């Protein structure tokens, strides 16, 4: 039974969502009958359908996405593949997780999934402006209805220093300064309005010898602009910290990231809730860990999966488990940590 659906109606285009590291996600989250699962990046519901089947009709699958097309496609997929699953789809971003879960009226969540980055269908729809392989207006907004900032506005209005900073910080672009200078030079003559105009400017700025290396020369710039337009990194940290608050004792949090900046934020948040950072000059610490990190290093997709689904090549998976911060388990871990530090 469907409890509630929030999203645009009448959209028939299907999200062809091939879930990344599905077996690993199911193993890490280990959803049980009757549990509450929250997929914070619903997309085409490739992960969600399988999670919903595991929690059964007595459980609840909450799916969150800021993209109307994703919500519509996910709803259609559930009708076909999991019609008996109790599910609740909500429009929003995971930086609104507190409000969305209050709207869902659940006391807590047993499993959280974050599958980050742009989804394959968004790349396939040229007019969204995410792809450097198709010519389209420079948009890149995940939620065009609520976000007014476009990639075109960033490129044509940000000063050269800010463009350089964004490309270097969010894209890891070695030639950030050269690309920013070329964008400023070109826009002084005419606005840069399409993806192919942007690609042409990037290629002109990067030395020919560097362009011959593997990967598309525009990939890092497009990534940086997408992150800036959608405020992705700020939203990620807010969403993760909200997930820790809402997770039930023994609740699991699984994150799939696709670039080093995202992965560093996930690692930082998990470490923040699992490791005592009390200065060594303070002899007694009252710190009680909230999370147990289950992945010392991020897991990666198998070679077989990468061959089937190239998007999985960049996936980095981290998992943490919520501790009972007031119970015996947390006290045992704190005591064990204290004893180890004294040896």
pLDDT at site 144: 82
pLDDT (mean) for 304-332: 81
pLDDT at site 31: 97
Q: What is the pLDDT of residues 173-182, one digit of tens each?
A: 999 999 999 9
pLDDT at site 51: 97
pLDDT at site 15: 57
Q: Rounded distance, CA 191 to CA 225, Å?
A: 16
Give the three-state DSSP class for 8. Answer: coil
SS3 percent helix, strand, coil of the chain, rounded to 5, is: 50, 15, 40
Site of tokens 């950030």: 176
Burial of 279 per CB tally in 10 Å (0-12, 13-18, 19+): exposed
Q: What is the pLDDT of residues 139-177, one digit of tens each?
A: 999 888 778 899 999 999 999 999 999 999 999 999 999
Closest CA to 235 of 65, 120, 88: 65
Could you give all domains of the chain from N- to C-terminal order, each with its CATH number?
2-115+232-272+291-324 (3.40.50.150), 133-229 (1.10.150.170)
Residue/partner pairs of 135-140 with CB below 8 Å, 24 or more apart:
135/194, 135/195, 135/196, 136/194, 136/195, 137/193, 137/194, 137/195, 138/192, 138/193, 138/194, 138/195, 138/197, 138/198, 138/225, 140/222, 140/225, 140/226, 140/229, 140/230
pLDDT at site 119: 66
Confidence class for position 121, pLDDT limits 50, 70, 90: low
Instruction: Say how many residues make up the chain.
Output: 343
pLDDT at site 283: 74
- Which residues contact residue 131 at a Cβ distance below 8 angstroms, ignoring those fewer than 6 apart? 123, 124, 195, 222
Look up residue 174 and give its DSSP letter: T
pTM as predicted: 0.82
pLDDT at site 330: 45
Q: What is the pLDDT of residues 212-235, one digit of tens each?
A: 776 899 999 999 999 999 998 989
Residue 338 pLDDT > 80:
no
pLDDT (mean) for 322-328: 68
H or E element that contains 199: helix 195-205
């Amino acid at each position: 039974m469907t409890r509630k659906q929030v999203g645009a109606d009448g959209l028939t285009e299907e999200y062809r969502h091939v879930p990344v590291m599905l077996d690993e996600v199911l193993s890490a989250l280990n959803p049980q009958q009757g549990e509450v699962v929250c997929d914070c990046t619903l997309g085409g519901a490739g992960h969600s359908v399988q999670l919903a089947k595991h929690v059964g009709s007595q459980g609840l699958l909450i799916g969150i996405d800021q993209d109307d097309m994703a919500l519509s496609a996910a709803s259609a997929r559930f009708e076909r593949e999991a019609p008996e699953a109790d599910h609740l789809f909500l429009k929003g971003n995971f930086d609104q997780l507190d409000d969305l879960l209050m709207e869902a009226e659940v006391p807590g969540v047993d499993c959280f999934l974050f599958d980050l980055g742009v989804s394959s269908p968004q790349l396939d729809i040229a007019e969204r402006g995410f792809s450097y392989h198709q010519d389209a207006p420079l948009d890149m907004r995940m939620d065009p209805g609520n976000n007014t900032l476009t990639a075109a506005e960033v490129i044509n209005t940000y000063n050269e220093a800010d463009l350089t900073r964004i490309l270097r910080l969010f894209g890891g672009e070695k030639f950030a300064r050269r690309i920013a200078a070329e964008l400023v030079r070109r826009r002084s003559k005419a606005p840069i309005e399409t993806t192919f105009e942007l690609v042409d400017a990037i290629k002109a700025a990067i030395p020919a010898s560097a362009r011959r290396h593997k990967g598309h020369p525009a990939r890092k710039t497009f990534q940086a602009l997408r992150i800036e337009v959608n405020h992705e990194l700020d939203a990620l940290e807010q969403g993760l910290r909200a997930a820790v608050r809402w997770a039930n004792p023994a609740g699991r949090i699984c994150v799939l990231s696709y670039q080093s900046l995202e992965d560093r934020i996930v690692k930082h948040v998990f470490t923040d809730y699992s490791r005592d950072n009390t200065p060594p000059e303070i002899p007694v610490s009252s710190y009680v860990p909230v999370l147990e990190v289950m992945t010392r290093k991020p897991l990666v997709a198998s070679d077989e999966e990468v061959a089937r689904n190239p998007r999985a090549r960049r996936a980095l998976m981290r998992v943490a488990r919520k501790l009972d911060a007031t119970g015996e388990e947390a006290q045992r871990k704190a005591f064990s940590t204290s004893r180890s530090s004294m040896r």
